[in-house]
Structure 1
Amino acid sequence: MSHRHVAAIDAGTGSGRCVIYDLTGVAVGSAQEEWTHSAVEGVPGGLDFDTRQNGALIDRVVAAAIRDAGLGATDIGAVSTTSMREGFVLYDANGEALWACPNIDGRARVQAERLTQAGISEDVFRIAGDWVSLTAPARYHWLKEFRPDILERARYMGMLSDWMATRLTRTFFTNPSVGSSSALFDLNTRQWSDHLFERCGLDRAIAPQVVEAGTLIGHVTPESASRSGLAVGTPVIAGGADTQLALLGLGRKAGQATLVGGSFWQMTVLTDYPLVDPSRAPRTLCHARPGEWMTEGIGFLSGYALRWVRDAYFEPILSAAGSDLEAFDLIEAMASAAPIGAMGVVATTGAPMQSDNWRQPPLGFIGFDGNTPEHALGNLARAVMETGAFLANSHLQKLEELTHQRYDTIQFAGGSARGALWPQIVADVTGREIEVPVEKETTALGCAMLAAVGAGMLDSIDAAFAAMASPIERHINPDPERNKLYRDIQNNWADVTMAASRMAECDLFEPIWQPPGAKFTSMTDIRKV
């Protein structure tokens, strides 16, 4: 084929973007806009995903990425989509979006608790590998109770990455990597679970067909071409979930461990069978590659927390000074100057994953005694970075326990791997060698690989990886002395995080986020001895 470029469209937790790649894996153009998700008035924890406003944003970034690449619409040989997991969209009989939610929507607390008390949540985890906290069953029950008008009109459903492809093609489908995040999938068959639909009292007819990632699902329609700047008839290829596509872009396979550092951090391992944790700590989803599955521990908002620090403290400083320095460059410089342990500052920005009882602490910083004003911001930023690494290490230990395997080398990709400091902290905390690829945004790269394969521009996923893969930029070795120091610091962090989470449980402070459907038991001891 004459086409030499593909487009990857990505709906992340914090932004929508498009990246244009050539067939050697070089990003030749990109555009991105940040977004937020609107709180639902009178609905505690409720967040809506605005398909009209965010759809227009996606159209803008697609057109802007094509311009940035210096290409025309007909130069794009195929397009694929990827997104955050769990969030889904309902459509009416005409294919128009009726309702949508992002991954972190927490409105269905009462409904999830009912599913848990009825024993349905345990059934869901056994078959689908995930709890009901942020997944479709509880949200469907919320709609039944409070918005039955939406369910009465709904004829189709799709996950958020499916929604972007549906806007381009007017076809309805899902793929196992993102569909399994609905908690309505059977991991073993990689298909919708008729049993779970029945068990949860949901309409199976609403679920779309399932195709594997890399399958041609349609072509860009004239209407969507006029909105986005893509050419009419451009092939649209099934993509998938952001973390799984990041692993695909890295060429990761069964038996390897990877840390994907975006808004959330996912410490992952790939297996050639569906590994479901009997203690229900990490969760398991289908991988984008057929015949593989992914088990992950999620660092709640590990990357997003540094964005909060940027917006609240560093951007105002730079703005007041009239500086053109990038905020993250200033953060890295000040955090690098801070000592290990951040002079006792502990960031309560997340707790290790426990799928059935994932209680988060209140967002805060504890232990500023002795911090002078000129050092306080650097220690605050470093504390956020160290918490991200502590969460990743906690999840790594659990995954090694489950798989009976030690992972001596971990690949670290995503926006959080861009600087020098954070990857070094991860290496020092985990005591493992860290590999950082040249291309940090491997989710979009994996999405682009699927686009090239599905359109026949490359023969297979393996061929796409051989042609487009990003080489390793640097190897980071842990410092043994810092690793020893971090063991005690992590234990202290775990104690502080546990205490802060218990204060939230007692309603003394508001947690960052409280999952729907958590069991009413004491919080799992998060301290790793």
Structure 2
Amino acid sequence: MQYYLAFDAGTGSGRAVLFDQSGAEVGAVGQEWWHKSDPRYPGSMDFDTQGNWDILARCCRELIAKTGVDPKDIKAVSATAMREAFVLHDASGAEIWACANVDARADAEVRGLKADHPGLEADIYALSGQTYALGALPRLIWLRTHMPQIFDSARSLTMLSDWVLYRLSGELTSEPSNAGTTGLIGLTDRAPLDAALETAGLPADLLPRSVSTGEVIGHVHSLAAEMTGLAAGTLVVAGGGDCQTGALGLGVVNEGDCAVLGGTFWQQVVNVPLSLRDPTMNLRINPHVVPGLNQAEAISFFTGAVMRWFRDAFGQGKSYTELEAASKSVPAGAYGIIPIFSDVMRYGEWFHAAPSLLNLSINPETSGPEAIFRALQENAAIVAQRNLQAVFELSGNCPDRIVFAGGASKSSHWSQILADVTGIPVITPKVKEATAQGCAIAAATGAGLFASLTEGGRAWSELEAEFTPNAQFKPLYDEAGARWERAYAVQRDLVTSNITTSMWQAPGT
């Protein structure tokens, strides 16, 4: 039997996941992590390259021990990661600075860019599908101002998926599906945007050699083998951004295909042609790992993180499973509770209201943990439905099904809620960890098991269950969504009035 290993450097955890040649998950080991803010710099979110590499390496060692697989039978390894996060390397390749995905320290830099270059953001969006909200350009200008020694020493920029592979192989590379989220490369040609780099005073070759998902970039070197337990010489294959590899793992490889990936963040994606842009700049457009396709994407912020917060703060020691089991007795609509957490996607003016729960009563039966838990699940689906509708209207396509994956899709109850709220059948895959599976498909393609990523995605994606919308609930959820929308607008106004503090806001908003 041959095996393929995926590293996943996510927002909330680092993991190693092993698949066999049939696409079956053999085992997984992960560890939750979070990213520290530097108290000197509001909005900062640093990424600890050494500490987090140690976590990933340990997960790999434990996975190999847990599964009993001979490392020599692991034919290839790849990596996927949260997007937008990046690492800067000096001339020797050493990591000198890194940030996580929603780092928002560059507030003044965004304001300066908008004032000094009023048309630049729209120009960058037209070419890259990205705004300043999560892009690399403002952060790089921030470094030039606040950490000039690091800025002057930077010779290469890698995304976290590229960085994991660098740690394994010593090869500095740039894969477009993830690098595209920086706003520094084009959507059609996947080439660096020289004008954007010049604005920051950066060389055009800051991005290392470009590689395609599924391309062999090197081999596991001896030090990485010692740390991870992998065999030296194992093929190292280019991976990609977590959302795009997740779509690959789900077999979402054709134009018009749709998926919801339910993790720490929820991503709602639809495959679109290379030419599509959003004139409102509310949605982002990213390169897909599949050649010839992009993805229109909307993001629900911190959806999984909110569930973790609720479990830890109010769950009274109960697990997710126990909380959900208790919440099933709560009727649809959750007694009118209105959660205020993630807003719909507003990529050009992106900020969220203060975390809140509205319309609670003092009756513990209607506003206790069970009711709030169900309200949070329903609200996640309501925000996803509104985000998806925006993508459908932009693309002109409404799919006949939504593929739902990630940790949230392990819940059949949540899957049914998503179907009821959207009014579209929801399909869940047999392998719920689609992001890692798509990454393993990339590794397997590089090792020659598949002739193309598309072939691998179709071969390994296996759907397990279908959830048919219950039509009687659609009017109820539409009404709940309308109330949420009106309430959220008021809560956003409280933030802009400096009465409450945003859950997260993009720099410059």
Q: TM (normalized to structure 2)? A: 0.97
After TM superposition, the structure 1 = structure 2 runs for residues 392-431 of structure 1, keeping only pairs within 5 Å, are 392-431=384-423
Q: Partner of 2:477: helix, strand, or coil? A: helix
- C-alpha separation between the residues in 2 aligned to 1:102 and 1:295? 22
Amino acid at match of 1:135: G
Q: How many residues align?
A: 506
Amino acid at match of 1:82: T
After TM superposition, the structure 1 = structure 2 runs for residues 265-284 of structure 1, keeping only pairs within 5 Å, are 265-284=266-285
Superposition deviation, residue 317 in structure 1: 3.1
Contact 1:352 1:395 in 2 (8 A): yes
Matched, 1:461 2:453: yes
- C-alpha separation between the residues in 2 aligned to 1:191 and 1:312? 46
Deviations 1:407-440 (A, max 9, x none): 2311111111111221111111111111111111
- C-alpha separation between the residues in 1 aligned to 2:275 and 2:114? 23
Contact 2:360 2:367 in 1 (8 A): no
Q: What's 2:440 paired with?
A: 448
- C-alpha separation between the residues in 2 aligned to 1:311 and 1:346? 20
Matched, 1:478 2:469: yes
Contact 1:6 1:76 in 2 (8 A): yes
Deviations 1:64-120 (A, max 9, x none): 111122112212110000000000000112211111001011111111122222222
Q: What's 1:146 paired with?
A: 146
Deviations 1:228-253 (A, max 9, x none): 11111111000000000011011112
Contact 1:29 1:67 in 2 (8 A): no
Matched, 1:285 2:263: no
- C-alpha separation between the residues in 1 aligned to 2:465 and 2:40? 49
Q: Partner of 2:205: helix, strand, or coil? A: helix
Q: Partner of 1:132: helix, strand, or coil? A: coil
Deviations 1:252-300 (A, max 9, x none): 1211111111111111110232421000011001000111100101111
1:381 pairs with 364, 367, 373, which one?
A: 373
Q: What's 1:111 paired with?
A: 109
Contact 1:78 1:237 in 2 (8 A): yes
- C-alpha separation between the residues in 1 aligned to 2:358 and 2:477? 17
More divergent stretch after superposition (444-453 vs 335-344) = 335-344
Q: What's 2:197 paired with?
A: 197
After TM superposition, the structure 1 = structure 2 runs for residues 35-74 of structure 1, keeping only pairs within 5 Å, are 35-74=33-72
Amino acid at match of 2:446: G
Q: What's 1:505 paired with?
A: 496
Amino acid at match of 1:501: R
Q: Partner of 2:167: helix, strand, or coil? A: helix
- C-alpha separation between the residues in 2 aligned to 1:205 and 1:433? 46
1:366 pairs with 341, 346, 358, which one?
A: 358
Contact 2:335 2:366 in 1 (8 A): no
Matched, 1:222 2:213: no
Q: What's 2:24 paired with?
A: 26
Q: Partner of 1:47: helix, strand, or coil? A: coil
- C-alpha separation between the residues in 1 aligned to 2:88 and 2:504? 25
Amino acid at match of 1:330: E
Amino acid at match of 2:441: M
Contact 1:23 1:468 in 2 (8 A): no
Q: Partner of 2:5: helix, strand, or coil? A: strand
RMSD: 1.4
- C-alpha separation between the residues in 2 aligned to 1:484 and 1:229? 54
Superposition deviation, residue 200 in structure 1: 4.2
Superposition deviation, residue 371 in structure 1: 3.2
Superposition deviation, residue 466 in structure 1: 4.4
Q: Partner of 1:482: helix, strand, or coil? A: helix
Q: What's 1:127 paired with?
A: 127
Matched, 1:258 2:259: yes
After TM superposition, the structure 1 = structure 2 runs for residues 163-174 of structure 1, keeping only pairs within 5 Å, are 163-174=163-174
- C-alpha separation between the residues in 2 aligned to 1:81 and 1:472? 24
Which ranges in structure 1 are unaligned for 5 or more consecutive residues?
319-326, 519-529
Contact 1:302 1:387 in 2 (8 A): no
Contact 2:134 2:181 in 1 (8 A): no
Superposition deviation, residue 152 in structure 1: 1.5
Q: What's 2:338 paired with?
A: 346
Q: Partner of 1:206: helix, strand, or coil? A: coil
Q: What's 2:483 paired with?
A: 492
Q: Partner of 1:144: helix, strand, or coil? A: helix
Superposition deviation, residue 202 in structure 1: 2.6
Matched, 1:331 2:323: yes
Contact 2:361 2:367 in 1 (8 A): no
Contact 1:257 1:410 in 2 (8 A): yes
Q: What's 1:312 paired with?
A: 313
- C-alpha separation between the residues in 2 aligned to 1:195 and 1:417? 41
- C-alpha separation between the residues in 2 aligned to 1:30 and 1:257? 26
Contact 1:30 1:64 in 2 (8 A): no
Q: 1:296 to 1:516 in 2, by over 3 A?
A: same
- C-alpha separation between the residues in 1 aligned to 2:59 and 2:339? 34
Identity score, percent = 35
Matched, 1:233 2:233: yes
Contact 1:129 1:284 in 2 (8 A): yes
Which ranges in structure 2 are unaligned for 5 or more consecutive residues?
none
- C-alpha separation between the residues in 2 aligned to 1:371 and 1:115? 50
Contact 1:177 1:241 in 2 (8 A): yes
Q: Partner of 1:186: helix, strand, or coil? A: coil
Superposition deviation, residue 370 in structure 1: 4.8
Superposition deviation, residue 192 in structure 1: 1.4
Q: Partner of 2:255: helix, strand, or coil? A: coil
Contact 1:303 1:388 in 2 (8 A): no
- Moved beyond 6 Å, runs of 4+: none
Contact 1:115 1:517 in 2 (8 A): no
Superposition deviation, residue 387 in structure 1: 1.6
Amino acid at match of 2:419: A
Deviations 1:3-62 (A, max 9, x none): 600100000000000101101011112100000101111211101000011010010011
More divergent stretch after superposition (256-265 vs 231-240) = 256-265
Q: Partner of 2:331: helix, strand, or coil? A: coil
Superposition deviation, residue 196 in structure 1: 2.3
Q: Partner of 2:368: helix, strand, or coil? A: helix
